[in-house]
Amino acid sequence: MASSSSAVGTEAVPADVLTEGQLVVRIDGSCVYPRMMVGGKAHGLSKMRAAGLPTPPAFTVTVDACRQYFESPGDLMERVWPQILDGLSWLEAESGHTFGRGPLPLLVSVRSGAPASMPGMMDTVLNLGINDEVEPILGDVCGAPFARDVHRRFRDLFRQVVTPTDNEVPADPLDQLRAAVTAVFDSWNSARAVSYRRHHGLEGKMAGTAVTVQAMVFGNLDAQSGTGVLFSRNPLTGDRQPFGEWLPRGQGEDVVSGKFDPLPLSNLADQHPGLHRELLEAAVWLEGDAADVQDIEFTVEAGKLYLLQTRAAKRSAAAAVAFAVALQREGLISADEALARITPAQLDVLLTPVIDPSVLSSADVVASGLPACPGVGAGRVVGDSDSAEDAADDGEDVVLARETTSPDDVGGMIAARAVITEQGGATSHAAVVSRELHTPCVVGCGRGSLRNLIGTEVTVDGATGTVYAGRLALTQPSEDADPDMAMLLSWARDRSPVRIVDATSSSDPDAQVVDHRDSAGILAAIARGSATLRAAHPLPVLLTILESTRGSNKRA
């Protein structure tokens, strides 16, 4: 069965896919390129293109080019640039538009794509190829207000991402493209990207990021346009129903930035039922093909749907458990694969104490918004990431409160017990990264709603989207209360070479008691030949044992 498509794979690169010295590939539908070669973004695009799904044409500079860039930046760019120009000529032919000139100007996005998903951690440039000469030509085709808006968006993002020190924007579109490709490579070693890889144990497992150059489609073109994000199932709760958000007359960065409040996907169904149906049909196919829940970025331009990205969805711990069991029951994965998709760390989140229901009636609600990642976190509210990291380093529990979060906030998000934002929806950067970190999160609490909380103690319930004053009393959940965890426990017991009994059980009184969080202690007990262990929470202990067994089998 297929494994989770978010993982760093060990796919063998077919020897005949690339010619000697080739560092750029066309996403033309002729091949589904391995993610270790072209990154997760281009892997998903090539899969969708090969399946005949509507994707704008694109080409990709490979992950190996990034590796060579860091060995010798100038030499690599000289060797890869002619291949990039060839790719650009192919984009012109595919799209019928021309780069840097009329009559139909071609604008492109330049986006990162590592083999493992790192949402928002590296750089993206949109609307590249516009300048003072191209703007009026684009205006003749699409209207002057639209062209001005696109030019403004490009300048702002280019200055932020590519030239933050001097704010210069090259007039020549080819110079813009070269600078953007270099900036995306450089963002691989940005502080936020390094911090993210270190936190998730990805350091040394990937050679770098690919760079995908794709023809732009415009969600901000007119009233029949927009952009959104669709999850094939709910990544917060694990429900089978599709979940997503939609922003009419917007571009993708508007949704993920959290600066705009998007509409629920039901709005797209109401306004454009045919497009909504087409989108859901694509999501069903992509989920079945990957045997995993998908996160799909899409844009509608003048009433036509385009799919821009598909990847394994970042999910809450509760959703991870629900997905694993559901996909096994639906025949998409085996029980062994379902167990392999759940980590002891995810179970630790689910077994973390929750708010005692008896105290809720008297609790003081100080803010509320959209639930973005379930769980409970409490601490002193701080208003910036540096303060969160400093306080956490001193051993203090903190809650990070921001107007919106950006990729530069990842260090503070890792340090915080919970994250709350004034703006943004359930598919914003804050929501997606919090689910990846399993950090309780509430978004969209309202402009100005969190400023007065700075310095106070609060308790955040990410499942209900509620922020309470003070630290509320908590109670301990049980594995037995959740039928999906009970199913995983049954499968794990059947497969484990070691028997786990309850820590309070009178049977096997001589068996060692182990902490479910202490993987080293669990493995040490097994190494000593223990046939039975006692634990307060058996499932994470069993998953640690099974993970060790799988690792031993791979090395054998």
Q: What is the DSSP letter of 472?
A: P
Read off the tokens for 344: 């002891």
The amino acid sitting at 300 is V
Q: What number of other Cβ atoms are within 10 A of residue 488's Cβ? A: 25
Assess whether 116 and 235 both reside in one domain: no
The residue out of 167, 189, 216 marking a domain boundary is 216
What total of structural domains would you count in the chain?
Answer: 4
Domain check: are 484 and 340 in the same one? yes
Helix axes 273-290, 35-50, angle to 10 degrees: 130
Same domain, 329 and 421: no
- How many Å apart are CA 199 and CA 71, to the nearest integer? 25
Q: What is the mean pLDDT of residues 445-449?
A: 93
Q: Are residues 226 and 331 in the same domain?
A: no
* Model confidence, pTM: 0.85
Q: How much is the CA Rg of the chain, to the nearest whole Å?
A: 24
Q: Are 500 and 538 in contact (CB under 8 A)?
A: yes
Q: Are strands 474-475 and 418-421 parallel, antiparallel or unpaired?
A: unpaired
Reduced to 3 states (helix: H, G, I; strand: E, B; else coil), residue 415 is helix
Report the residue count for the chain: 556
Say which range, 104-108, 177-181, 344-348, has the weakest mean pLDDT. Answer: 344-348
Q: Are residues 201 and 235 in the same domain?
A: no
Which residue in the block uniquely carries the two structure tokens 């309070």? 504
Question: Are 235 and 301 within one domain?
Answer: yes
Reported confidence tier of residue 553, pLDDT bands at 50, 70, 90: low
Q: In angstroms, rounded to a whole number, what is the distance separating the alpha carbons of residues 189 and 209? A: 10
> Are 29 and 151 found together in one domain?
yes
- CA geometry: angle at 296 spanning 290 and 297, to 5°? 150
Q: What DSSP element (H or E) covers 532?
A: strand 532-535
Q: Is 112 exposed, middle or buried (0-12, 13-18, 19+ CB in 10 A)?
A: buried
Residue ranges of E strands in 315-375:
354-355, 365-368, 370-373
Cα–Cα distance between 191 and 184 in angstroms, integer?
14
CATH at 375: 3.50.30.10
pLDDT tens digits, one per residue of 30-66? 999 999 999 999 999 999 999 999 999 999 999 999 9
pLDDT of residue 14: 56
Partners of 277 in the beta sheet? Answer: none
Chain centroid to Cα 23, Å, comes to 26
Instruction: Give me the CATH number covering residue 280.
Output: 3.30.470.20
Two tokens, residue 102: 């009329």
Q: According to the model, what pLDDT value does residue 5 have?
A: 37
* Residues 309, 377 within the same domain: no
Is residue 244 within 8 Å of residue 231, measured between CB atoms? yes
- DSSP-assigned beta bridge partners for residue 243: 231
Short-list 364, 363, 465, CA closest to 420: 465
What integer pLDDT is reported at residue 393 of this predicted model? 95
Select from 181, 201, 216 the last residue of a domain: 216
Residues 191-241 pLDDT 10s: 889 988 988 888 888 889 999 999 999 999 999 999 999 999 999 999 999
**Does 205 share its domain with 221?**
no
Give the structural domain span for 467: 354-475
Question: Is 9 a residue whose pLDDT tops 80?
Answer: no
Q: What angle do CA 80, 51, 249 make, to 5 degrees?
A: 80
Share above pLDDT 70 across residues of the chain, in percent, rounded to a whole number: 96
The answer to whether the Cα torsion of 65, 66, 68, 74 is positive or negative is positive
Q: What single-letter DSSP state applies at residue 271?
A: H
Give the tokens for residue 525.
Answer: 């007990």
529 and 486 both lie in a single domain? yes
How far apart CA 244 and CA 96 sit, in angstroms, is 32
527, with CB counted inside 10 A (0-12, 13-18, 19+), is exposed
Strands 105-106 and 98-99: parallel
CATH number at residue 158: 3.30.1490.20
Are 41 and 168 part of one and the same domain? yes
Share of the chain above pLDDT 90, in %: 74
Confidence of residue 16 (pLDDT cuts 50, 70, 90): low
Q: Which of 161, 196, 216 lies at the terminal end of a domain, its last residue?
A: 216
In 3D, which of 97, 98, 96, 106 has the Cα closest to residue 127?
106
What are the backbone angles phi and psi of residue 311, rounded to the nearest 5°? -155, 165
Same domain, 41 and 80: yes
Output the pLDDT for position 330.
97
Query: Residue 12: is its pLDDT beyond 60?
Result: no
Return the percent helix, strand and coil in the chain, to nearest 5. 40, 20, 40
Distance CA 256, CA 126 (A): 14
Amino acid at 38: V
Q: Where do we find the tokens 């969708």?
A: 48
Residue 410 near residue 347, CB atoms below 8 Å: no
pLDDT at res. 207: 86
Does residue 432 come out as left (phi exceeding 0), alpha (psi in the -120 to 50 range) or beta?
Answer: alpha
Q: Is the predicted pLDDT of residue 290 greater than 90, yes or no?
A: yes
Residue-wise pLDDT for 139-155, tens only, equals: 999 999 999 999 999 99
- Quote the tokens at residue 97: 């538009």
Average pLDDT in the chain: 91
